[in-house]
């Protein structure tokens, strides 16, 4: 081998090995969204097993029980089953922002018995649960100061990906009984997104057997909030459980001319998103059953009973009567975060890494071949 080629190859192989180590220090061997655990029998102490990677250890744990339950719980196993049985991700300590704590959020839930934190009375101000052919979701209104968010936090997105594929929160797991036919058999939800902030929330759990779960639970539109990622008819002060049609995939829209387009979310470096090229389509909901919060959340204490005092019990609304689009508009900024999470960046990061790896493989092959040829 010529000296120049030899020194290039030596330098290249050295830098390639440094780059490989750098990459290894960020990405886990198995992305969180590819880890499977049966609930409750197969739950590990922590789903994240890579404490030496850049973001450090998983803050809490997934193995949760009666000793962990309550206001100090660090349980990071969450549930989305029904209007009276769901959790949201929120911070460990008071007066936090999602952007500062996205890797550490813990589960706050409506039901005791699974080792989590329980929502304080009055936290939930309005909730619409919707079941569609592709997912279940809750969208609603929350006094976010009661779940440790700063009053002015516009929030961001939690999902099982993140720029380093370890999830936000790291190791966060989600389960549901929605597809099991009984209330005691849990399905692990591999694709989900939960936007928190601006006094609102949306949490969608995509059917793991659905053909398009990654698209419905997209994680790369982290700056445009609930109204674009989970458009709904949720209304403040109303608690209802509905059937519904599935939304368009987040970021995919049909113009007035019938042309289907894909929205490209600008990077944070370009500043605040001040205009959008489309209004999201709100799918119709049907067979809505309304409740008072007291009927649903008695476990939280009596203060919730005042939240929806005017609703009569178990009123079945006519199909479609709750399709008030205007409420969705008020959600336009829900969870839309300028600080954002790193989910969107994750895609860019991964494709860049793949490109570099592709080049590296060619160069390694070439350098090895040179050794034989010269
Ligand atoms: C309860 O959960 C905690 C936290 O994961 C764990 O350390 C403890 O061993 C569990 N206790 C039982 C009896 O499983
Ligand atoms: C919450 O945090 C903000 C920003 O750090 C601070 O200005 C404010 O005083 C804090 N509020 C409380 C109640 O601690
Ligand atoms: C499961 O629980 C929901 C309420 O969370 C209830 O409406 C439903 O009837 C239950 N299903 C079965 C099969 O027990
Ligand atoms: C929802 O209603 C409650 C009670 O009226 C109110 O305090 C809260 O500001 C409302 N939330 C939003 C986001 O409008």
CA of 100 to the centre of ligand 2 (A): 14
185 C-beta closer than 6 A to ligand 3: no
60 lines ligand 1 (CB under 6 A): no
Ligand 4 and 201: CB distance under 6 A: no
Indicate which atom in ligand 2 lies nearest the CA of residue 95.
1
pLDDT per residue as tens digits for the range 334-354: 433 333 333 322 222 223 333
Q: Is 26 in the pocket of ligand 2 (CB under 6 A)?
A: no
257 touches ligand 3 (CB under 6 Å): no
CA 184 to centroid of ligand 3, rounded, Å: 10
Q: Which ligand places an atom closest to the C-alpha of 131? A: 3
Predicted pLDDT at 311: 29
Ligand 1 pocket residue status of 246, Cβ below 6 Å: no
What is residue 78's predicted lDDT score, i.e. its pLDDT? 98
Q: What pLDDT is recorded for position 181?
A: 84
Residue with CA closest to ligand 2 atom 12: 95
Given this model, what pLDDT does residue 24 score? 54
Low-confidence residues in the chain, pLDDT < 70:
1-24, 301-374
95 lines ligand 2 (CB under 6 A): yes
Task: Using the atom order of ligand 4, give the atom closest to the CA of residue 236.
Answer: 1
Residues 74-102 pLDDT 10s: 999 999 999 999 999 999 999 999 999 99
Q: Is 40 in the pocket of ligand 1 (CB under 6 A)?
A: no
- Give which of 259, 240, 250, 254 is closest to 318, Cα–Cα: 240
Does any ligand 1 atom lie closer than 6 A to the CB of residue 305? no
Indicate if ligand 2 lies below 6 Å from the C-beta of 100: no
Q: Which residue's alpha carbon is nearest to atom 13 within ligand 1?
A: 65
Please give the distance, rounded to the nearest whole angstrom, from the Cα atom of residue 293 to the centre of ligand 4: 15
Please give the distance, rounded to the nearest whole angstrom, from the Cα atom of residue 78 to the centre of ligand 2: 28
Residue having the nearest C-alpha atom to atom 3 of ligand 2: 95
Which ligand sits nearest to residue 153's alpha carbon?
Answer: 2
pLDDT of residue 374: 29
């Amino acid at each position: 081998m010529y000296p120049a080629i030899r020194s290039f190859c030596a330098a290249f192989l050295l830098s390639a090995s440094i780059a490989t180590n750098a990459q290894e220090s960020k990405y886990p061997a198995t992305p969180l969204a590819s880890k499977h655990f049966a609930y409750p029998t197969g739950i590990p102490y922590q789903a994240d097993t890579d404490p030496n990677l850049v973001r450090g250890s998983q803050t809490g744990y997934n193995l949760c029980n009666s000793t962990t339950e309550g206001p100090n719980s660090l349980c990071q196993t969450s549930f989305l089953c029904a209007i009276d049985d769901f959790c949201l991700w929120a911070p460990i300590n008071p007066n936090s922002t999602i952007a500062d704590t996205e890797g550490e959020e813990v589960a706050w839930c409506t039901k005791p018995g699974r080792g989590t934190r329980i929502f304080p009375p009055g936290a939930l101000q309005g909730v619409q649960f919707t079941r569609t052919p592709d997912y279940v979701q809750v969208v609603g209104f929350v006094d976010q100061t009661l779940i440790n968010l700063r009053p002015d936090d516009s929030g961001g997105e939690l999902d099982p990906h993140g720029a380093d594929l370890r999830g936000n929160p790291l190791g966060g797991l989600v389960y549901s009984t929605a597809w099991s036919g009984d209330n005691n058999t849990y399905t692990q939800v591999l694709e989900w997104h939960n936007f928190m902030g601006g006094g609102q929330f949306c949490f969608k759990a995509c059917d793991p057997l659905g053909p398009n779960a990654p698209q419905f639970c997209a994680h790369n539109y982290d700056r445009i909030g609930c109204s674009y990622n989970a458009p709904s008819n949720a209304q403040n002060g109303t608690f209802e459980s509905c059937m519904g049609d599935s939304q368009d995939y987040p970021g995919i829209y049909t113009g007035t001319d019938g042309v289907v387009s894909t929205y490209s979310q600008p990077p944070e470096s370009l500043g605040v998103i001040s205009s959008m090229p489309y209004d999201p389509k709100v799918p119709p909901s049907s067979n809505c059953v309304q409740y008072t919060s007291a009927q649903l959340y008695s476990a939280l204490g009596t203060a919730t009973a005042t939240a929806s005092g005017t609703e009569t019990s178990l009123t079945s609304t006519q199909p479609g009567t709750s399709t008030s689009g205007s409420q969705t508009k008020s959600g336009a900024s829900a969870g839309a975060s300028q600080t954002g999470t790193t989910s969107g960046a994750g895609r860019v990061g991964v494709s860049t890494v793949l490109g570099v790896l592709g080049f590296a493989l060619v160069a390694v092959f070439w350098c090895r071949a040179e050794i034989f040829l010269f």
